[in-house]
Structure 1
């Protein structure tokens, strides 16, 4: 199955189309230094054509709207991307310091296992591996020549992927086996995110609802939008734990899902074909 055709099919069925080029979508980032650059990839990658897509699915309604095959292919696409990203980095001389190579080597092995799982689950319905461009096209990221850019991009991939996975979990609610395996993978991806964040001298968990509060320039606020939420289960928790960190501690105690629309708005600039 061709990745672009797959994404176009999903767009026709489930997404609302909006116009905009790569350059238009990321023009606001032009004044951000490359060393601060971070972009992220969603679970549901948008086709890099003249049209980007906005999705309508939320976590609460995903189980009624999403197709299991589509969700698994979204997951497979992310795993393809992460596997490719880490394999290129590990094969680039002088990029990753010796003391960090074992960490990213293990993460790459995890991503390879995840790819094989989703391919086996999908069988003939699995999409082909796309061609990726980790410079971000018009962004011109120095991803594989600057270790700090590589780390920042890794955090972006991992943090967004965790939230995106959570947002689509409801789509697998009626398949106990797939939901179990998917959540097992999801928790490992969250561990990846925590590890990379600590390597960037950030907390191991998301803190606050802005990019700056997570060590990322403010043009990337969409990655962390909604993470400042302090209402859980309809209960406002912000004023209940003043002696235990207050509202910030509440925010850090709960991860928030991303809808497909939010995920697609964040990125999708790393897939070529």
Structure 2
């Protein structure tokens, strides 16, 4: 609608007659005013305003989506850290479970996990998102494990949790890239989780790395933790070419998707 048509409408007596209700008249005037204001703007500038508004709307939607992706990734990480933190806390408080020679290791790992929980909760809060509440955990996985009465099983689950954490953090890297500060912290946590995993694996007389999909003397219930680790194709390159499939797969740690990480964690959540 151009300015001439608007002026023509303004000269129409019916526009202000009693044929329309007061509410309708006010509505018409309001709409007329908006259209008149737009029509009075030069054509090029009007188009620019419309484009800018569309771009702003798009940016707002994109920003909200990025924030949701970021906070969802942090909430997942928080669940995994809650799990590890409580696991080590119970283990350390269980009399005669952890040998004295190993207590210092798990005391330090426990401190790390506690720090990770506090960081994630603080970060979510700073992003305007309420941190998820700590779930109720069942570390027996419905009676399949006895980690607090059998130290060997305690080590098995410790390895499974740490190996899960390493792959899960790697899998969420792309979802936290929108916030460089969070990305840096997540990468720092990831490397610490990898050190935990390597340490616990060696405490079980395993290699510090994963070869193929073999966790190393692990029960079949933990197979989902290692599924996909047998991959020997990286960006089109066959990693088994030089030293074989085991060494080739071990040279590249695989990611764990968010849904797979949630599935693994859910086995221990009531």
- Flag the 1:83–1:168 CA change in 2: closer, same or farther, 3 A: same
RMSD: 1.8
The aligned length equals 203
Q: Which runs of 5+ in 2 are unaligned?
A: 1-64
1-side partners of 2:122 and 2:67: how far apart?
Answer: 24
Name the structure where helix makes up a greater proportion of residues: 2
Shift of 1:138: 4.1
Is contact 2:139-2:268 (8 Å) kept? yes
Is contact 1:160-1:223 (8 Å) kept? yes
Shift of 1:66: 6.1
Deviations 1:17-46 (A, max 9, x none): xxxxxxxxxxxxxxxxxxxxxxxxxxxxxx
Shift of 1:219: 4.3
SS of the equivalent of 1:261 reads: helix
Equivalent position of 1:131 in the other structure? 136
Shift of 1:77: 1.2
SS of the equivalent of 2:113 reads: helix
Alignment of 1:239-258 (within 5 A): 239=241, 241=242, 245-258=243-256
Residue 85 of structure 1 pairs with residue 83 of structure 2 = no
Is contact 1:210-1:218 (8 Å) kept? no
Shift of 1:131: 1.9
Equivalent position of 1:269 in the other structure? 267
Equivalent position of 1:181 in the other structure? 185
Residue 165 of structure 1 pairs with residue 163 of structure 2 = no
2-side partners of 1:138 and 1:79: how far apart?
Answer: 22
Deviations 1:164-192 (A, max 9, x none): 11111100111100000011001100100
1-side partners of 2:67 and 2:124: how far apart?
Answer: 19
Is contact 2:76-2:262 (8 Å) kept? no
Shift of 1:196: 0.2
Deviations 1:189-243 (A, max 9, x none): 01000000000000001111134xx22133432221111111111112322x1xx
Is contact 1:77-1:129 (8 Å) kept? yes
Q: Among residues 209, 225, 232, which one is paired with 1:223 in the alignment? A: 225
Larger radius of gyration: 2
2-side partners of 1:102 and 1:174: how far apart?
Answer: 37
Q: Which runs of 5+ in 1 are unaligned?
A: 1-62
2-side partners of 1:215 and 1:144: how far apart?
Answer: 19
Equivalent position of 2:108 in the other structure? 106
- Flag the 1:184–1:64 CA change in 2: closer, same or farther, 3 A: same
Could you state the TM-score of these two structures normalised by the residue count of structure 1? 0.70
Could you state the TM-score of these two structures normalised by the residue count of structure 2? 0.71
Shift of 1:120: 0.8
